Structures are given as structure tokens and as C-alpha cells.
């Protein structure tokens, strides 16, 4: 009788333990205290991709903004607001990118841990460049901190591999605070991600040993990718991707195209706007690059697909 009771208790204990654990890809058990499943949210696809790499083998993060609507002026659905309200942690870039988020964050319960990635220590932060990039109006915009210049920052920080590594480190550290039992897993995933990103950085660097080619961008959204490679467009056609450029500026761009015989333009809008199309000849190379990676499947591989898209796009502009 006593033996039967002991066996029954052992079965119950083993069943409860199994329900409260998950297995990593390598088969190691990660215990979830009380069987609690973490709800961790990332606003945009590149951030979600890095976060997915860090969390592999535990819980799967939630992608908040998975629509083509502008990330600057997004309108959340009730279901998205509910997800945020019940989240354990939220990762976002910052107000310079997701301008609609501060009001929403202020309304969240204090149980939601919010991590603003643009505040991560060690990031290389760049100020927006003048549309006349080849002129003398440019400022020394390297290595500024968010606190030094308020919101006057280019928010596309994830396009720098070095920045992506710092963001991933911040993610691993932040997650370990709310799930310390998963810290070994987060650290191991971080090391794997770091190795893969450094290999990708070396590969891309080999593709652009020669920077002697001229191109334009429709909107100056790619400087975090360009700077390590010493690439720089001659000019940006528009200072604001959501607002058409003025006639005076378009005339300057037209003269620049003629003088430098520019035959390549890179744009980040869904289609190259008509005001820009009219500036170029039919045989001009037109390269579309989406800095958010909207056309790629969400998950750990998206960030690497985005890097490949960037490098392949810029290669098209090389003579």
C-alpha cells in the first residue's frame, strides 16, 4: 500500500515537472517556474528577428507591427492593445521611429517591462543627413548619444551590424531579469548570433572594397548600413519619405544627375514616386530595398535576409 502511494506521488510529480519544462534545440531542459509562458513583444520585424534568435528554445516572441502601414503613424487594433496590456516585456526602437508608441506605453500596466533599444549603451547613433549629401551642410554626426541630441536622430539603428549586436546583448540581459532560469539559454543563443553576424559583416565588407561609384537615394534611410562600408549617396531626393520634395530641390537633383551621369537610384518606398521617376532615364538602375524587411518571413532568419537584400541592392549600383 505504501509502495503504491509512493509510485503514484512520483508519477504526479514527474508529470507536473514535465509540464513546467521546455526543451532547447539541443535537448536541455529549461524549467518554466509555475509553467508560466512569457509574452515578449517586439514592435518591428528586424527587432523581432533579433529577439527570436535570442529566445530560440524557450518562448516565441510576438511581432506587434506586421502590416504595411507606416511604422511612424500606426493605428493598433484592439487585439494588439490587449497583447501589450498582458505582455511581460516590450522591446521598441524609440519615439524617433515609432512615434505613436509613447502614448500607448504610458497607458500600459506597470507590470509590463518596457525596453527602449535606442537607449542601449554603446550604440553608434547618427543624425539625419542633409538631402544635399555632397554639399558642405553636413555635420559631424558620429557617435552621438540619444541624450545629447534628443529626437534629432536617424532611427534606423538596426541597419548597422554592430548596433544589432548591442541590441541583442540588451535583449539577452533584459530577458534574464524576468526569466533568470533561462539565462544560460539566452547567453548561448547570443554567442551563436554574434558569431553569425560577425561572419556576415566580414562577407559584406569583402563585397565593397571599391566605393568609387555614384548613386542617389530617394530617402536617406540607409546610412547605418553605408557608413561602415564608406559608401555615401551623392544626394537624397526627399528629406521626408512621406512628403514630396519641392521644385527647387528637384531641379538641383536633376543637375546633379546630369553632371555626375548618375545611373542608379535606391529607394525604400513601395514604388519609386513619380516625381523621382521623371528625373531618370529609362535605363537607370532602380533598386528597391525595404529597411524593415516586410517581404521576408518573420523570425530569426529575417535579419540575415535583410542584410543580404541590402548588400545585393548596393551591388547593383556598382559599375
pLDDT digits (tens, 9 = 90+) for 131-179: 565 443 333 344 444 444 445 899 999 999 999 999 999 999 999 999 9
Out of 192, 207, 222, a domain closes at: 207
Q: Domain check: are 162 and 92 in the same one?
A: yes
The whole-number pLDDT of residue 75 equals 79
Q: Domain check: are 309 and 227 in the same one?
A: yes
Place of cell 524549467: 31
- 145 within a domain of the structure (yes/no): no
CATH code, domain carrying 260:
3.40.50.1980
Q: Domain check: are 95 and 106 in the same one?
A: yes
Q: Domain check: are 173 and 285 in the same one?
A: no
Tell which residue, 198, 239, 195, has the closest CA to residue 217. 239
Q: Domain check: are 108 and 237 in the same one?
A: no
- 26 within a domain of the structure (yes/no): no
SS3 state of residue 202: helix
- 222 within a domain of the structure (yes/no): yes
Q: Domain check: are 176 and 227 in the same one?
A: no
Out of 190, 207, 224, a domain closes at: 207
The residue segments making up the domain with residue 234 are 209-317
- 28 within a domain of the structure (yes/no): no
Q: Domain check: are 183 and 256 in the same one?
A: no
- 149 within a domain of the structure (yes/no): no
The whole-number pLDDT of residue 64 equals 95
Predicted TM-score (pTM) of the model is 0.83
Q: Phi, psi at residue 44, to the nearest 5°?
A: -110, 165
The whole-number pLDDT of residue 54 equals 98
DSSP annotation of 4: H
CA distance 107 to 82: 12
Out of 207, 229, 248, a domain closes at: 207
For the chain, 319 residues long, give each residue's pLDDT as a single digit of tens.
Answer: 444 444 444 444 344 433 334 443 333 334 444 457 899 999 999 999 999 999 999 999 999 997 666 676 677 889 999 999 999 999 999 999 999 999 999 999 999 999 999 999 999 999 988 656 544 333 334 444 444 444 589 999 999 999 999 999 999 999 999 999 999 999 999 999 999 999 999 999 999 877 678 999 999 999 999 999 999 999 999 887 667 788 999 999 999 999 998 999 999 988 999 989 999 998 999 999 999 999 999 999 999 999 999 999 999 998 7
Bridge partners of residue 91, in order along the sequence = 42, 115
- 165 within a domain of the structure (yes/no): yes
Provide the domain count of the chain: 2
Q: pLDDT tens digit string along 103-138? A: 999 999 999 999 999 999 999 999 988 656 544 333
Using CA atoms, how far residue 73 sits from 69, 82, 107, 161, in Å, is 8, 19, 18, 26
- 107 within a domain of the structure (yes/no): yes
Q: Domain check: are 275 and 188 in the same one?
A: no
Q: Domain check: are 306 and 185 in the same one?
A: no
Q: Domain check: are 60 and 176 in the same one?
A: yes
Q: Domain check: are 162 and 247 in the same one?
A: no
Q: Domain check: are 271 and 172 in the same one?
A: no
Contact 128, 219 (CB under 8 A): no
- 15 within a domain of the structure (yes/no): no
Cell numbers standing for residue 269: 518606398
Cell numbers standing for residue 212: 568609387
Amino acid at each position: 500500500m505504501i509502495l503504491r502511494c509512493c509510485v503514484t506521488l512520483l508519477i504526479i510529480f514527474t508529470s507536473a515537472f514535465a509540464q513546467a519544462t521546455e526543451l532547447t534545440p539541443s535537448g536541455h531542459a529549461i524549467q518554466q517556474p509555475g509553467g508560466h509562458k512569457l509574452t515578449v513583444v517586439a514592435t518591428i520585424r528586424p527587432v523581432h528577428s533579433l529577439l527570436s534568435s535570442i529566445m530560440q528554445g524557450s518562448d516565441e516572441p510576438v511581432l506587434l507591427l506586421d502590416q504595411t502601414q507606416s511604422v511612424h503613424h500606426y493605428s493598433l487594433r484592439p487585439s494588439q492593445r490587449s497583447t501589450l496590456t498582458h505582455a511581460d516585456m516590450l522591446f521598441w526602437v524609440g519615439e524617433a521611429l515609432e512615434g505613436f508608441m509613447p502614448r500607448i506605453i504610458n497607458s500600459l500596466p506597470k507590470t509590463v517591462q518596457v525596453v527602449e533599444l535606442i537607449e542601449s549603451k554603446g550604440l553608434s547613433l547618427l543624425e539625419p543627413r542633409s538631402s544635399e549629401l555632397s554639399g558642405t551642410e553636413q555635420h559631424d554626426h558620429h557617435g552621438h548619444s540619444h541624450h545629447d541630441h534628443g529626437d534629432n536622430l536617424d532611427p534606423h539603428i538596426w541597419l548597422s551590424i554592430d548596433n544589432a549586436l548591442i541590441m541583442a546583448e540588451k535583449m539577452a540581459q533584459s530577458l534574464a531579469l524576468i526569466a533568470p532560469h533561462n539565462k544560460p539559454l539566452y547567453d548561448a543563443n547570443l554567442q551563436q548570433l554574434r558569431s553569425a553576424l560577425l561572419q556576415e559583416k566580414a562577407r559584406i565588407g569583402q563585397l565593397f572594397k571599391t566605393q568609387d561609384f555614384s548613386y542617389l537615394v530617394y530617402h536617406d534611410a540607409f546610412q547605418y548600413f553605408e557608413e561602415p562600408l564608406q559608401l555615401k549617396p551623392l544626394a537624397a531626393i526627399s528629406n521626408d519619405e512621406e512628403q514630396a520634395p519641392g521644385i527647387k530641390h528637384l531641379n538641383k537633383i536633376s543637375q546633379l544627375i546630369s553632371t555626375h551621369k548618375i545611373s542608379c537610384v535606391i529607394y525604400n518606398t513601395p514604388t519609386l514616386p513619380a516625381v523621382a521617376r521623371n528625373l531618370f532615364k529609362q535605363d537607370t538602375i532602380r533598386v528597391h530595398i525595404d529597411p524593415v524587411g516586410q517581404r521576408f518571413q518573420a523570425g530569426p532568419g529575417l535579419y540575415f535576409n535583410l542584410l543580404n537584400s541590402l548588400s545585393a541592392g548596393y551591388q547593383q549600383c556598382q559599375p
